Structure 1
Amino acid sequence: MSTKQQSTWTKTIVASMTSYIDAGSIVAGAAGLSLWEAYLGMGSVQLGMLAAFSSNAISAALGALIGGYICDRFGRKLVYTYDLVFYMLGMLLIVFAVNFPMLFAGYCVVGLSVGADVVASWTLIAENAPAKNRAKHCGSAQVAWALGPAVVLVMSVILGGLGLLGNRIVFAHLIVVALITWILRLRMPESDSWIANKEKEQELIAKGLWRKPRMRDLFIGPNLKGVMFLFGVYTIWNLCAGTMGFFLPYIYEKVGGVSNATANALTVGLFLTSALSTLTLFMRLADRYSRRVIYRVVACLFIAAWSIFLLPEQSLTMPLLVTFAILVGINNGSGQQAFYQMWGSELFPARYRASAQGVLFFSARVFLGFWSLCLPVITESFGFKVAAIFLVAFATISMLIGTIFNPNTAGKTLEQIEAERYGSVGTSPLSVNEQTGEQPQEYMAT
């Protein structure tokens, strides 16, 4: 392996650790929520505030929106370098919390940091990855995303006898991982793609041939097509994934009729299956074979998984619950999120790349928040089977959109993809027709 290849994989692995500490923070919060509730005497309002502003909801959504804008305006490295400092400060507040304001502040700071960091890291992975192996590099983040919750759940079981102290230790281990990642990041350079784009942009602006990018540009022309496509693929899919992330223990226990220990074991198995799926399917196949076929097959497995809960409750035997965990695990590792992470960088020019991901990440978390409010009401009023009908519908819509409009981007450089989508005159300064000096037209110039 060449030095260049080693350097590329080093960048990828360091960036991927964001997914470990992001997903780990979400699961650590869920695993210890009842312990914090008892320790601080929290009521339903305080519990709702923690859920709404955690790494899985509003604070992460806002962090992604803000972080994406900063990444495109001032560089990936600015967010990439300093964001984890705030993450560690937020984690320290949680680890040493002795009252609700400390705990809540920690959740908010961690959530904001996670949202910004995911956008920066996922963008950097795609920009640094070789065109022929982009899926392989992007998949590394999905492996880390699965391992984070798996490790946290195993630690929570092992340290369960320590009570709240055990949960504090689980959070503390994420600080250690973040510190190591931050130290490694200090040596990492800025994205070459962003530097080249910024230099070209400044040159064209000085000549009067371009203007500074604006957030509203994401909602016109080819940018809008990309946003709408990924909204259908990821945001709608995330309604199912978010349901799994927050309500899965409840579903296993209340609908499947298993014990809490069994529910946790099934969840660990799900995440381990996710990691294995990414390694054996997405990372090995998505650069070499039809992405449309891979996407359709794996997305259909997700539909089949949620369809299990359309069966009568007495039919939900352990083999069916294990089947659900396996099918969802395969989808989590090689399905919509893996493709979204890759497409989120491929389908937008460098000047809008992180901002677009920030907007999409924001929408996914906000819509999930609304759905999370509706789901308990639907379940309580009509039973979980009705909720499962909605989940199957969401999974089906996401499958159809991703299959029908699947972009042909495999093996192409980001610059090639940009030229195909935007032509010689487009939203990227790299696509301005320099031979004629043609001023960007229509939505590009207004």
Structure 2
Amino acid sequence: MSSVAPTAPGARQKIPGRYWRVAALSGMASYLDSGILVGVSVSLAIWATHYHLSVWMLGSMSAILTVCIAIGSLVGGRLADVFGRRLVYGFDIAFYAIGAVVIVLAPNAAVLFVGIIVAGLAAGADLPTSLAVVSDAVPTWARGRLISFTQVMWTIGILVAIGLGLVTSTMGFAGTKIVIGQLAVVAIATWILRSRLKLEDHSSEQEQAVAETVGLEVVKGISLKNLLTRSVMIPMIATFGFYVLWGIAANTFGQFGTYFLVTVSGATQTLATAIGLAVVPLGIITSLIFVRFADSKWRDRIFFIAAALQIVAFAIGAVSAGAILGAVLIFYILYNIVNAFAGEANYKVWSQLLFPPDTRGTAQGLTYAIARGVFAVVALFTPALLAWNPSVLLWGLVVCIAGSSIIGGFIVRRLIPNAPAVVVAELEGGSGPSPISSVVPVIKVPRRQRSHSGR
């Protein structure tokens, strides 16, 4: 096996604007995902009156949206691997726009449900596809920053949906048309820009040549049996375990944060809404900071600090049983400061580094889908659990965050250092655009020959 001397770390290299454009247009998948979730949430009360919806129909609407996003992630990721990511990359965003338009123009509840189903399926399909497109089209040494930028877009989607919801809160049914209508406009604009986007093709032949240089075994092909190999299954189970445990805690407060502050902490509806809106810009700032370190050794070093502080944050809320508003505020602020460094952004970056290019959409679509399904089930029981014993729920979330931190530590210590994409980025040193085409963790490169890029 020959060795390659690393050059300057890729994290120090300036990323060309054309790659940021790919990341921004792909990040719209995250913007539209969070936008439809929050948009439907803020519209439910008004839709209930306008469409004469029962409480069961309202609950079904939220559950169906979550399930459709899960199904879309599973099917869309696989379709992207089989039929080509560029093809699915264009179709899913177009179908999202159609779904959003149907929601805006729905004359009755039945049509409204159809629009939600279409938009949910399309949003789910676009999530793994868009991330895989970024990984395919950009250099390995820039992948962390560009992938993590999609998480910034996700947070912006929340901010815009909540902001529009507040601004149009006195407009009644017309306000919901604006909240959802902007998603249709953004989706159409994104579809037009994506159709004109020129994506670079970092061929698997080039990737394989680099991989073989450092003694990596390469697994290729879109066959589902590749997912059952040990080198793929272990990263897939690990990233899923991290994401689902972290997501249970994050999704609980994402969906029921305002409800929790009002019913458990004693805040007024206005104060609870203001708190929820105030922490969103904080999330955007911390996500941008994460982007800065996403291709450096600090990404995974900061993870351990942030993960520990996340546990502390949830523990503060649990100790107070959520009944002390001041303690809950401390929890909210601390959590929103650190979750960008030990949460979904890490999951996105790790997945793109660990999964093989040929089945990257399928693998991440599968972990997305199952996790979203779990979130939907947990959300179904959350209100009842809050009514019974908030302390039990909060301590359960502490356990989830602690579990995700342990799994994340395993990923950082065991999987990432041996991920072929990471090794190749280190050997490239930011000097070349060739990403790796395999994630088989059988690397035999001595640590002394490797830099810290991508670590």
Residues 248-293 of structure 1 show CA distances to partners (whole Å, capped at 9, x for unaligned) of 111111112111222122112222111100112x112232234332
Secondary structure in structure 2 of the residue aligned to 1:161? coil
What secondary structure is seen at the aligned counterpart in 1 of 2:16?
A: helix
Matched residues, number: 410
- 1:372 offset after TM fit, Å? 1.6
Q: Quick one: distance in 1 between partners of 2:322 and 2:68?
A: 39
Distance, in Å, in 1 between the alignment partners of 2:286 and 2:55 is 37
What CA distance in whole angstroms lies between the structure 2 residues aligned with 1:305 and 1:185? 40
Counterpart of 2:256? 247
Counterpart code for 2:140: A
Cα offset for 1:336? 1.9
Matched, 1:17 2:17: no
CA contact (8 A) 2:28 2:150 kept: yes
Q: 1:385-396, aligned counterparts within 5 Å?
A: 385-396=391-402
1:67 aligns with 2:76: yes
Distance 1:220 1:314, change over 3 A: closer
Contact 1:235 1:367 in 2 (8 A): yes
User: Are residue 46 (structure 1) and residue 66 (structure 2) matched?
Assistant: no
Contact 1:274 1:334 in 2 (8 A): no
CA distance in structure 1 between the partners assigned to 2:105 and 2:272 by the alignment: 29
Secondary structure of the 2:240 match is: helix
Counterpart residue number, 1:153: 162
Identify if the C-alpha distance between structure 1 residues 314 and 246 changes in structure 2 by more than 3 Å, giving closer, same or farther: closer
Scaled by the length of structure 1, what TM-score is found?
A: 0.85
How far apart in 1 are the matches of 2:355 and 2:96?
Answer: 28
- The answer to whether residue 335 in structure 2 is matched with residue 328 in structure 1 is yes
Conserved? CA contact 1:59–1:112, under 8 Å: yes
* Deviation string, structure 1 residues 90-147 (Cα, Å, up to 9, x no partner): 1111111221111111111011000000111111223333333322212211111111
The partner residue of 1:175 within 184, 200, 217 is: 184
Q: What is the 5 A alignment of 1:21-420?
A: 21-54=32-65, 57-190=66-199, 192-193=201-202, 196=204, 213-280=222-289, 282-312=290-320, 316-318=324-326, 320-381=327-388, 383-406=389-412, 407-408=416-417, 410=422, 412-413=424-425, 415-416=435-436, 418=438
One-letter amino acid of the counterpart of residue 94, structure 2: V
CA pair 364-4 structure 1, distance change in 2 beyond 3 A: closer
Say if 1:39 and 1:111 are closer, same or farther in 2 by CA, change over 3 A.
same
Quote the offset at 1:326 in angstroms. 2.2
1:287 maps to amino acid: D
Would you say the 8 A contact 2:311–2:402 is kept in 1?
Answer: yes
Which amino acid is 1:231 matched to?
F
**Which secondary structure state, in structure 1, belongs to the residue aligned with residue 124 of structure 2?**
helix
Distance in 1 of aligned mates of 2:138 and 2:374:
31
1:192 aligns to what SS in structure 2? Answer: coil
Identify which range, 3-12 or 270-279, moves more after superposition: 3-12
Instruction: Give the alignment's Cα RMSD to 1 decimal.
Output: 2.7
Contact 2:221–2:359 (CA under 8 A) maintained in structure 1: no
* 1:431 counterpart residue number: none
Number of the residue aligned with 1:7 = 18
* Deviation digits for residues 327-346 of structure 1 (CA, Å, limit 9, x no counterpart): 23234433220011111111
- Structure 2: tracts of 5 or more residues without a match: 1-12, 209-217, 426-433, 445-455
Give yes or no for contact 1:230–1:344 (8 Å, CA) kept in 2: yes
Letter in 2 for 1:270: V
Give the TM-score, by structure 2 length. 0.84
Q: Are the aligned partners of 1:77 and 1:189 in contact in 2 as well (CA < 8 Å)?
A: no
Describe the shift of the 1:3–1:179 C-alpha distance in structure 2 as closer, same or farther (beyond 3 A).
Answer: farther
Q: After superposition, give the CA deviation of every residue in 1:336-384 in whole Å (9 maximum; x if it has no partner).
A: 2001111111111111111001000001111112212232332233x11
SS in 2 for 1:63: helix
CA distance in 1, matches of 2:58, 2:243: 27
User: Distance in 2 between the 1:40 and 1:225 partners?
Assistant: 47
- For residues 219 and 424 of structure 2, the distance between their equivalents in structure 1, rounded to whole angstroms, comes to 26
Q: Cα–Cα, structure 1 residues 27 and 68, in superposed 2: closer, same or farther, change >3 Å? A: same
- Return the structure number with greater relative CO, CA threshold 8 A, min gap 6: 2
* Alpha-carbon distance in structure 2 between the residues aligned to 1:160 and 1:96: 19
Cα shift at 1:41: 1.6
2:452 aligned partner: none
CA distance in structure 2 between the partners assigned to 1:119 and 1:419 by the alignment: 17
Give the % identical residues: 28
